[in-house]
Structure 1
Amino acid sequence: MRSIFISLLFLCPLLCFSQLEIKGTVISTTETIAFANVILSTPGSDGTVITGAITDENGNFTISAKEGTYTLSIRFMGYTEWQKDIALDNHIDLGTITLESSTTSLDEVVITKTKKVIERKPDRLVFNVENSIAASGGDALDALKIAPGVTIQNNTLSMIGRGASRVMVDGRILQLSGEELIDFLNAIAASDIKKIEIITNPPAKYEAAGNGGLINIVYKKGARNSWKNTTTLAYNQNTYNFTTLRNNFFYNKNKLRFSVTANGTKGNNREIEEVDVYYPNGPWVLDMDNKANKDNISGRLSIDYDITDNIVIGAQYLGNQNTPDNTVQSTTQIFNATNQLDSILDNTGFFDRKVKSHLYNLHMITTLDTLDRKISFDIDYFDYDNTLKQDNVVNTFLPNGELVGINYAAMNLSDQRIDNFSAKIDVEHPFPSVNVSYGGKLSFIKTINGLQNFTTETGTPVFDPISSNQFEYTENIQALYVNASKKINDKWEFQLGLRVENTFTEGFSETLNQTNTNEYLKFFPTAYISYQKNDNNVFSLNYGRRINRPGFRNLNPFRIYVNSNSFSEGNPFLQPSFTDSFEFNHTYNNILTTNAFLNITSDGFGTIFTADQETEVQAVIRENYYKSYNWGIGETFSFSKLPWWKSQNQIYFLGYKTVIDDAINANAEDGFQLYLSTNNTFTLSKTTKLQLNFVYNSPHKANLFDISETYNLNVALKQSMLKDKLQLSVLVNDILDTSSYSRLASVVNGIETVYAQNYSPRFARISLSYTFGNNKIKGKQRGFGNDEERNRSN
């Protein structure tokens, strides 16, 4: 297979340059301009149009023509037309082209053009974070919480009705999940994010991991021949408070582009949880109130350099260090069969955590010829280290407050380290009749989880070797893919892809002296077809198969006790789950989109909360235990008829059907769900904008759980000053304090467990941002053959 792949790569024909290129970046005085018309014509007022293009979302354009003399024109509604006579005898880079604003009045209505906060594209939903007032001053996790159709439950990111999703940064997958992923997202500033792409059914080029598709975080890029610096100070207030200071610097001139970002956060957040377990002998009621530390320092460095007209090299670094300590105070009330209070377990603890992560990337992009044949290389290394010192003392009291004795006293020292090295190559190889792309990836992951347990009942820590453990896990993946797309005519277009992944895993528990291995070769086909009936109606149908691999911690077989009655353990025999996704879309007049989907998941795995009726021991275990059928139909409606009001609205009707393995003594919860969201931006004046958002999830049943309704109302205001250089933003999130789960119930082994949580989603944030820089750095007028590639590499 390796020899075939190498042959495919290096048999790409190298063609001679036959045309010359003109390129540039179109901007206004404040931002890049997307979708501007670029026209190249023969000289004169009645010149013949030779060719043309439309600027991309970053304002860039490239057009090709033979040697000669031409007139280049750039037009965009609301701006004065730009023209320049050009003698084309070599590649030309026009650098930054600034269009002057011109107000066009029709019956006293001013026509302006701004990018939508939310955009529906054929294969993805795009949340333009840079245009969202509600995301101002927050981090990546804050932005994801208000992204349409994205939910965060028990540290798992998922798409409504579809299941767990994987996260990418600039198209590069993050080998993180659960708590580790949340820590990483907390370190990314929302002000550093251009957009978030929600890809429900990714093509073969992307990782096959993630039953619920992929979420791609795309960083901002600096405009060509310019530099810019933005400093942001934000203050958040809930029960506690925390403050964040961020700085973003961008530089882009001639061959060199780089950006530097630094972030610092200090303060605390309140986290409340409640768990009720209904035993036959009487219920146990756990109430937990944590003060979570949010101290964090993070940064990003990105640099790209054009070695030649056709070769770009670059590097990127992401670093994060935080101390998410927790002061834990919890009580468990134990009732008897007549519902009288029998005793109380009082838990006082402290979690001393230190988390460090480093992500390094090297990349090179080569354009082979004027036919857009390209090769890109990426090498990535990720290092994650999470150390935790946990002190817990649980005392038993009678209802009158009399101390009975110590129920549990221990000190745990744990250390989790993840090392991931990966290398990939992507080739874009267009032919006259079909566009073909192919590539491959190698990934090597090693994780070590160490746990040392000490009993502290006597006041002096005593090492307990039986309850201590070290778990080592390795995962190696080799992947190849090929993708082909073709536009048959003006109405029909199709795309077919196939990704092949070979996976080998090995887990070793030192204390149990247990080794578990697994190896499998899997195929992941994708297919897309679209039909444009007319200018107002576009239909598309797609299919894809995906895989969801267990998280590293879920594979650790060691049993970790929280107290004498509660423990958690992983399962080294967990298998990956597989999902077949079918999706249909219809777009009408670019304002109304109908979406219908069906996801079928086999070998589904997850966390099960169990309790023993006789011993009253509570356990958290992981199993492959279900097959599920999730489906949905929904509408997305865009409204922008009024110049002062833009609205994006979604409504989905969702259904869940789960078949549970007979070995699991649990009740399947099947049902329906209604999802509503509306995102509204009001332009109160040229310098003042108001954003009003609302999300509603109806009560529903899915998988093992009976889930309460949630809804979130937030309002944000942005005031621009000093010619948009100074911006003041105010956000009040979850005004009604109703976005948390008040009930998440399941029945396993005949015992009902009801969970509720509130991590302080209701808060107020005020942020102040100041931007300064120069959009007119003088640059050399030279030609590049790789605008698109440079954008991808940033």
Structure 2
Amino acid sequence: MAGGPAKPKVTGRITALILDSLTKKPVDYATISLIKATDSKAVNGGVTDEKGKVVLQNVAPDQYKLSIGFMGYKSKTILVKTTPEKPDLNAGTIYVVPSQSNLKEVEIVGQQALIENKVDKLVYNAEADITNAGGDATDVMRKVPMLSVDINGNVQLRGSAVRVLINGKPSGTMASSVADALKMIPAEQIKSVEVITSPSAKYDAEGSGGIINIITKKKTSEGTSGSVNASAGTRSNNGAFNFNVKTGRLAVTTSLGVNHAYPQNSRVDVFNTAVINGVTNTVSQNGFSKWSRVGYNGSAGLDYDLNGYNNFSTNVKLNSFSNGGPGSSDIYTNQVFSQNIRDMDMSFNNMDWNVDYRKTSKKEGEEFSLSAQLSTGRNGSDFTNRFVTAGIPDFSIIGHNTGKNNEYTVQSDYTYPFSKTTVLETGVKGIVRDIISDYDASAQDFDYSQNVASAYGVMGFKLSKKITAKAGLRAEYTKINGVAGNITGFDNDYFNLFPSVVVSQNLSQMTTVKLSYNRRIQRPSLFYLNPFRNESDIYNPMEGNPKLDPELADNIELGYSTFIKGSIINASVFYRNTGNVIESSIRPITEDGINKNLTTYINVGTSQSYGLNVFGSYNPKPKWTLMANFGLNTYDVSSTQNNVNTGTFLNYTAFMRSAYALSGGWNTEVWGVINSPKRTFQGQTDAMYFYGGAVKKEILNKMATIGVNVLNPFSRDLNIKTVNNTATSSQKTDIHYPLRSFGLNFSYKFGKLKFTQKKSIKNDDLKKEEEQGGGGMGGGQGK
């Protein structure tokens, strides 16, 4: 109709994958230019990512020349064309030829780096580490620089609590037990792990130590692609399957992972002493627990491009996990002998459903997103204790707890670039959590609700040609109310501001120094809050504390990174001040004539911690890589209110790795991890170490691999000793955990995976447990 509004012009995108013609490896940071064929005018461009992929958005239908250039390679130009009917074009794989003088160098650098140091994070590429095959996410996390993982699978970043995300999203399983959630993810499903030590105000403020983001292989891809992985061993068996299909603007992705750990005996010895009315009472327990573990996780996702500017995606994840088993202990109480025959079962079932909408514009970098998430979980804990004593009738203690956790989240983010060097990021978010913990009788229910509203603004800009800065502020309001059994209802509302700032300077093209500050919060999760009394060990019961306050931490970090002839050095020093530190606490009590050490959780006091971390990677020969990481931090907690002054202790963690590639598709690797004794305000856990190796062979034209892995081959058990003391009691635990394992693994991949990233909800605001989980770890003690 004449005079009517003009029809909006359709735009699309052009994607391509740039590979080295000799090594068939990705060429990252290659410059891509899109030039109009009619007038040779450049209209668009970009840089390839670490996978060699480039995506050029907002491309109007026309004929173009796609030009590829990178130092050490011959320039290459191809003709491409898009139309209004088909505005999107996949140019496929484009091979670039190295110049003659650079052939040898290309063979060296063409392999994927195991560790990448980026501006705002450190990335561990797990898929490039052959020793991960046959393990789970816990095994992967043990080898990530700056992280320390105890035998239960609890993760810390430089000695402090950390928030763990999956593909940038929270998980209902993580809300119940991080340790058990990690054991549900086969290592073969993990693409990489991102360590974010100084998150900006854009991130949820949770995680006093920082954020860990596990990127899995469940990504949208062009065409049809997938992978199958299987492993069998003496400790556990894993399987993982991924399948992706994309036709036109529609993409569907699915995945499935299963895990089964054989039941194995863990020897558990516990010795308690208590001084009551001047008389010393002792309880000695010598026994075992025989736990097994079974779990699965699955997901299905849909991604649809409405046009070049609007995208819709949704994803559903299901997780189910159970562990437990029988056990027995011989008990000696002041010369009286008895036996405890027990059984323990713990289960975790969760569903996460995400819906995301993303809108871009013709202005490069401008983006609006709207996301919603529903998480539901149902967790169970059941135990039975039967006590047999000569001359006394048998008696039993039975416990049952069912926890239901429903979480609803809505989030919106907007990014606006004022220029190429000045970018504004802003957003709002709301989280509603409802928790019901039912134990033994309805009158003893724990009903808890937590609502969090937040908003943020972050500005990134340049101070000079070599100095960039990013500053932001996040505001969060938290409203809590609940009823805990016979405890009077409680309320706790608080408002916090979380500033963040980072300044980065390029000393040279390969050397960067960075100074950052941020404030973080660590809210206690259900594990810490639930007042359910777990008496799977009658002499060492456990319960949560519903009146815990959140931790608040201020962090300052100075970092330095450089690349020297293929070698990497990354070093940082930091200071952290944390208020209301949450730790486990034992307290001697007497009930029904039995002396016990009750474990609960309290806000101990204030912690000041100094630390450093040094990571290095070196290639003595082109196919030989040496890698090491060393982290050190102080532990010091004090409180006048609780009369606590621990003094200063040193914690450290060290990781070493040596990998060598042989001809014929063979790869070998050995590694080792050492964790120092871990302190608490009442005691410590002894040092522990892990080590392993692997051999892998490429087969079937490099589409499949087969290999063997070993873990701690020269020692069946890992001996873990923990001592806690109060003024009138002590608790000593000695666990022999079966760790040695041998395994055979196989993987097969098909198609071409070309990953695309989608923005989504990230709930980062709950402190996770330190004691629970581990698949057989201390089962008799209910941990």
Paired position in structure 1 for 2:425? 437
Q: Is the 8 A contact 2:480 2:492 kept in 1?
A: yes
After superposition, the Cα gap between the structure-2 partners of 1:353 and 1:635, relative to the gap in structure 1 and judged at 3 Å, is: closer
Paired position in structure 2 for 1:772? 750
1:278 aligns with 2:273: yes
Q: Distance in 1 between matches of 2:202 and 2:604?
A: 30
Q: Could you say what secondary structure the match of 1:639 adopts?
A: strand
Paired position in structure 1 for 2:459? 484
Q: How far apart are residue 223 of structure 1 and its match?
A: 7.3
Q: How far apart are residue 558 of structure 1 and its match?
A: 4.6
Paired position in structure 2 for 1:346? 339
Q: Is the 8 A contact 1:259 1:301 kept in 2?
A: yes
Q: Distance in 1 between matches of 2:437 and 2:43?
A: 63
1:635 aligns with 2:631: no
Q: Is the 8 A contact 1:323 1:354 kept in 2?
A: yes
Deviations 1:358-415 (A, max 9, x none): 111111111023332101111111111122332211223xxxxxx1425751222321
Q: Is the 8 A contact 1:407 1:564 kept in 2?
A: no
1:359 alignment partner AA = D
1:170 aligns with 2:167: yes
RMSD: 3.4
User: Which residue, out of 494, 502, 515, partners 1:520?
Assistant: 494
Question: 1:47-62 to 2 correspondence within 5 Å?
Answer: 52-62=45-55
Paired position in structure 2 for 1:672? 650
Q: How far apart are residue 517 of structure 1 and its match?
A: 1.1
1:296 aligns with 2:295: yes
Q: Distance in 2 between matches of 1:38 and 1:236?
A: 46
> Higher RCO, 1 or 2 (CA under 8 Å, sep at least 6)?
2
Q: Could you say what secondary structure the match of 2:323 adopts?
A: coil
Larger mean Cα displacement after TM superposition, 246-255 or 178-187: 178-187
1:84 aligns with 2:78: yes
Paired position in structure 2 for 1:506? 481
Q: How far apart are residue 218 of structure 1 and its match?
A: 1.3
1:377 aligns with 2:370: yes
Paired position in structure 1 for 2:414? 427
Q: Which runs of 5+ in 2 are unaligned?
A: 1-7, 763-783
Paired position in structure 1 for 2:28? 34
Paired position in structure 2 for 1:305? 304
Q: How far apart are residue 190 of structure 1 and its match?
A: 2.4
Question: 1:201-600 to 2 correspondence within 5 Å?
Answer: 201-220=198-217, 224-238=221-235, 242-270=236-264, 271-280=266-275, 281=280, 283-334=282-333, 336=334, 342-396=335-389, 403-405=390-392, 408-432=395-419, 434-452=422-440, 469-510=444-485, 512=486, 514-562=488-536, 565-589=539-563, 591-600=568-577
Q: Distance in 2 between matches of 1:670 and 1:775?
A: 50
Q: How far apart are residue 243 of structure 1 and its match?
A: 2.7
User: Which residue, out of 559, 580, 604, partners 1:603?
Assistant: 580
Paired position in structure 2 for 1:3? none
After superposition, the Cα gap between the structure-2 partners of 1:94 and 1:179, relative to the gap in structure 1 and judged at 3 Å, is: closer
Q: How many residues align?
A: 737
Deviations 1:497-529 (A, max 9, x none): 11111111112124x152111111111111100
After superposition, the Cα gap between the structure-2 partners of 1:447 and 1:618, relative to the gap in structure 1 and judged at 3 Å, is: same
Q: Could you say what secondary structure the match of 1:571 adopts?
A: coil
Paired position in structure 2 for 1:757? 735
After superposition, the Cα gap between the structure-2 partners of 1:307 and 1:253, relative to the gap in structure 1 and judged at 3 Å, is: same
Q: Is the 8 A contact 1:670 1:703 kept in 2?
A: no
2:249 alignment partner AA = K
2:339 alignment partner AA = D
Q: How far apart are residue 160 of structure 1 and its match?
A: 4.3
Q: Is the 8 A contact 1:688 1:718 kept in 2?
A: yes
Q: Is the 8 A contact 2:137 2:182 kept in 1?
A: yes
Q: Distance in 1 between matches of 2:347 and 2:588?
A: 32
Q: Distance in 2 between matches of 1:680 and 1:154?
A: 23
Q: Distance in 2 between matches of 1:706 and 1:120?
A: 33
Q: Is the 8 A contact 1:150 1:157 kept in 2?
A: no
Q: TM-score, normalised by structure 1?
A: 0.85
After superposition, the Cα gap between the structure-2 partners of 1:108 and 1:372, relative to the gap in structure 1 and judged at 3 Å, is: closer
Q: How far apart are residue 769 of structure 1 and its match?
A: 1.4
Q: Is the 8 A contact 2:218 2:254 kept in 1?
A: no
1:450 alignment partner AA = D
Q: Which runs of 5+ in 1 are unaligned?
A: 1-15, 337-341, 397-402, 454-464, 777-786
Q: Distance in 2 between matches of 1:144 and 1:60?
A: 27
User: Which residue, out of 80, 85, 89, partners 1:93?
Assistant: 89
Q: Could you say what secondary structure the match of 1:714 adopts?
A: strand
1:25 aligns with 2:13: no
Deviations 1:323-369 (A, max 9, x none): 323212223333x5xxxxx1334221222444321111111111023
User: Taking every aligned residue pair, what percent have the same amino acid on both sides?
Assistant: 21
Q: How far apart are residue 760 of structure 1 and its match?
A: 2.8
Q: Is the 8 A contact 1:471 1:508 kept in 2?
A: yes
Paired position in structure 2 for 1:148? 145
1:731 aligns with 2:709: yes
Q: Is the 8 A contact 2:285 2:329 kept in 1?
A: yes
Larger mean Cα displacement after TM superposition, 283-292 or 685-694: 283-292
After superposition, the Cα gap between the structure-2 partners of 1:634 and 1:140, relative to the gap in structure 1 and judged at 3 Å, is: closer
Q: Distance in 1 between matches of 2:61 and 2:227?
A: 42
After superposition, the Cα gap between the structure-2 partners of 1:323 and 1:593, relative to the gap in structure 1 and judged at 3 Å, is: closer
Q: Distance in 2 between matches of 1:582 and 1:378?
A: 32
1:654 aligns with 2:633: yes
Q: Could you say what secondary structure the match of 1:569 adopts?
A: coil
Q: Distance in 1 between matches of 2:119 and 2:104?
A: 36
Q: Distance in 1 between matches of 2:306 and 2:61?
A: 25
Q: TM-score, normalised by structure 2?
A: 0.86
After superposition, the Cα gap between the structure-2 partners of 1:59 and 1:160, relative to the gap in structure 1 and judged at 3 Å, is: same
Larger mean Cα displacement after TM superposition, 160-169 or 93-102: 93-102
Larger mean Cα displacement after TM superposition, 283-292 or 718-727: 283-292
Q: Is the 8 A contact 1:655 1:671 kept in 2?
A: yes
